Structure 1
Amino acid sequence: MKFVTFQHRGNSAVGVLVDDGSRLVDLTAAGLATDMRDLIENYDQRTAQIEKLVQERASALQLSEVELRAPIPTPRRNIFCVGKNYHEHAAEFGRSGFDAGSIGGTEVPEYPIIFSKPPSSVIGPGATIEWANDPYQSVDYEAELAVIIGRSGRVTENDDPMDFVFGYTIINDVTSRELQKRHKQWLLGKGIDTFAPMGPAIVTREAMGDISSKGIRCHVNDEQRQNARIGDLIFDVPTLIRAIGRSISLVAGDIIATGTPVGVGIGFNPPKYLNPGDRVRVEIDGIGTIENPVG
């Protein structure tokens, strides 16, 4: 199933997409979810009711009648993010001169590089990436698969990390490259307000199937900049969940952004940074598309 958070007649609600995504069933109006976090935490107990509601299609809304928001508009904790997690991107980042924490520049990390973005960075489909929030006008894009955690607790050696996955969505890990370089630690360059477009939906793990076979792409205006497979990740989804969750207790609703493929703006000579008036579109097979203007 594909779940969305949406705004309708001044109210925020959670819905499930039906009819190839042209309509949605309002789960909040049916008393099955106050918000996405509530849905994730209680999904197993409510699955049968949700499936029944979907079959009935009662009071389904046209998608054109609502405004989609980020699936989790205000995460309860920082988003866990992963740096340099595709081989070719690790190389282009090293060559760019912006990898202040690198030794030699082009090496593949031995272990996952983990940083975070605060909840205040999150925006939804169609919302504006605020270009002026980067004082150095070095705004870059990064198309990424995001994993949504559905089970709370630590990940022990006996656990299957995939048992912690509720589903997947898209994140654009927008970055101020100059801030990222100057401060070495990446929080300031990555955590800027509006620099984490997320959406359009969360697709459950079962509905998504084999994640490694899915394609991920990014277009700036009409130019394709990134095109890869999720299976090209250096550290795959189970490895990332175990690396984070062995020491940090995961919480249902946590978000892990898994890294971006080759083709970011700093990979070009000269760099192709975003500018006001640009539109950034990120697509992942099976999830959909999120597009955001730069303003």
Structure 2
Amino acid sequence: MRICRFTTGDDPRFGLVDGAGEKIAEISGDPLYTRIELTGETFEVADVRLLAPVIPRSKVIAVGRNYADHAAEMGTDVPAEPMLFLIPNTSVCGPGDPVVIPAALTQEVSYEAELAVVIGRMCKDVAAEDAQSVIFGYTVANDVTARDLQRGDGQWARAKGMDTFTPLGPWIETDLDVSDLSVRSRIDGEVRQDGTTADMVHGIGAVIAHASAAFTLLPGDVILTGTPAGVGRVEPGQRVEAEVEGIGVLENIFVSDADDEGTD
């Protein structure tokens, strides 16, 4: 089942997307908290604006260096345990939204295509083998990073957490075997990353067990599971696509906030 969040110019709505990704059947309420019931209204995907499929009410948890090839290209070791960091929920944006680079803060921004996990119920101390029972579904993420701030700050809060730096979408897939899915990114149509979830150092069960040992997980929390090799710099004006097999393509244009400055 594919669940999207969308608008026709009014308040956000939720819907079920067909297998072709072309039609939406509207449902009532937020499916994370209410039973899924069809309203009877249908829409063409091309006629609506897709929004981030979930806006975490609590947190985004990300896993660093969870692909050995990416750790190697960054000149770092693979952590013995999942290396977790938090991203504020205010960094989330949706498919088609501009990713805004604050020119006064960073001059080196990069993309990271990732599989994202959406938590479906409140939980704590989840065993790795029970992780599937707390997962609502999966979506695509781009873990945008200001590399200069990441190096200079000594921690990753600003580098990963600025407004619009966590695009999610295009929808949530609730029924998916994520053991071996391709994870790709493209800049202006050119492939930059081409990996597979089978190469995760720490699997999703282990990540959820590790995270839930430290934090209570809440419905709508999002876990970013790491990125394969091939990350690099993106410039204002470039279009970045992050794609996970079985889910879809998340596309965003990167812009500089300096472009919005008026002239006298």
Secondary structure of 2:102's match?
helix
Distance across 1 between alignment mates of 2:147 and 2:235: 14
Q: Which ranges in structure 1 are unaligned for 5 or more consecutive residues?
A: 95-105, 266-272
The residue aligned with 1:99 is none
Shift of 1:157: 4.4
1:145-156 correspondence runs (5 A)? 145-156=115-126
Q: Which residue of 2 aligns with 1:225?
A: 192
How far apart in 2 are the matches of 1:140 and 1:158?
31
1:1-295 aligned at under 5 Å gives the runs 1-18=1-18, 20-28=20-28, 33=29, 35=30, 39-42=31-34, 46=35, 49=37, 58-72=40-54, 74-94=55-75, 106-133=76-103, 135-157=105-127, 160-204=130-174, 207-208=175-176, 210-265=177-232, 273-295=233-255
Select between 149-158 and 211-220 the one with higher mean Cα deviation.
149-158
Task: Flag the 1:154–1:221 CA change in 2: closer, same or farther, 3 A.
Answer: same
TM-score computed with the length of structure 2 as normaliser: 0.92
Contact 2:62 2:87 in 1 (8 A): yes
Change (3 A) 1:281 1:274: same
RMSD: 1.6
Cα-to-partner distance string for 1:2-29 (whole Å, 9 max, x where unaligned): 000001132210111025211101113x
CA separation in 1, counterparts of 2:218 and 2:77?
A: 32
Deviation at 1:183, TM superposition (A): 1.0
Helix, strand or coil: the match of 1:130? strand
1:133 Cα deviation from its structure 2 partner:
5.0
Judge conservation of contact 1:155–1:161 (CA < 8 Å) in 2: no
Equivalent residue, structure 2, for 1:103: none
Q: Output the CA distance in 2 between the equivalents of 1:244 and 1:107.
A: 20
Q: Percent identity?
A: 38
Residues of 2 paired with 1:80 and 1:181: CA distance? 20
CA distance in 2 between partners of 1:195 and 1:15 (Å): 25
Instruction: State whether residues 212 and 230 of structure 1, in contact with CA within 8 Å, keep that contact through their aligned partners in structure 2.
Output: yes
SS at match of 1:144: strand
CA–CA separation in structure 2 for the residues paired with 1:157 and 1:180 = 32
Post-superposition offset of 1:40: 1.4
Paired letter, 1:93: M
User: Could you list the runs of 5+ residues in structure 2 that have no partner in the other structure?
Assistant: 256-264
Report SS of the residue matched to 2:214: coil
Equivalent residue, structure 2, for 1:101: none
Residue deviations 1:85-120 (CA, integer Å, cap 9, x gap): 0010011111xxxxxxxxxxx321111110111111
SS at match of 1:41: coil
* Matched position secondary structure for 2:179: helix
C-alpha distance in structure 1 between counterparts of 2:169 and 2:128, whole Å = 32
**Bigger fraction of residues in helix:** 1
Q: Deviations over 1:238-279 (max 9, x none)?
A: 0000001123211111110001100001xxxxxxx2111100
Answer whether contact 2:126 2:208 (CA < 8 A) is retained.
Answer: no
Mapped contact 2:113–2:227 kept (Cα < 8 A): yes
Whether the 8 Å CA contact 1:133–1:193 is kept in 2: the answer is no
Structure 1 residues 129 and 168: CA distance shift in structure 2, 3 A: same
